[in-house]
Amino acid sequence: MTRHVGIVLFPVFEELDAIGPYEVFGALSELDADWRVVTVAESGGVVTGAHGLKVTADHSFDDCPPLDVVLVPGGFGTRQEMDNPRMLDFLQRAARTASYVTSVCTGALVLHKANFLAGKKATTHWGAIDLLRGMGDVEVVKERYVQDGNVITAAGVSAGIDMALYLVSVLKDAQTARNVQKMMEYYPKPPELAEATV
């Protein structure tokens, strides 16, 4: 039986928040045919990210298959999605079949509005920590990613890759996650930056 990871898109989503985990779960699907990663948007069709990347969603909220993992990226578009009743309803419905509900960056704000973070530990982009904390009833921590029950939240942008690799180790095993990491050649270290010359 096919198991689905659903990445939820919306206007002005932060591209790497979605595409980083998409790469991880896409690699998982190459190693294990039982898994498939799909993109979902309210009406389907083309969704434009924060930097102009256009992605054609695989499904709308209405025709989305049951999801085993739900992932909400961040970006300034989350400010509108926090108050979008169709988004919040979709997330609550999707969570009924999902083993894990996850977010990257300010996607945590949307998860909180959809009642997934009440009484839990969570994280988000450093620039939104006070905003998430101010929503109340959530313990906000400064970590790369945080798991509390079946909810996993990641900090800003590139942290979504780390969270997704961790989730692969949970869904499958550590060796599969290492194999995905190797396929991606993802071994981050601090960048070497050129100094300006006068």
Q: Which residues does the annotation mark as catalytic?
A: 105
CA–CA dist 4, 42 (Å, integer): 17
Under 8 Å between Cβ of 5 and 36: yes
Percentages of the chain per state (helix, strand, coil), in multiples of 5: 35, 25, 40
Strand 145-148 and strand 151-154: the pairing is antiparallel
Query: What is the secondary structure of 164-192 as a DSSP string?
Result: HHHHHHHHT-HHHHHHHHHHHT----PPP
CA–CA dist 26, 20 (Å, integer): 10
Under 8 Å between Cβ of 78 and 47: no
Which residue in this structure is represented by tokens 């909810």? 151
**CA 46 remoteness from chain centre:** 19
Look at residue 10 and give its three-state secondary structure: coil
Under 8 Å between Cβ of 108 and 145: no
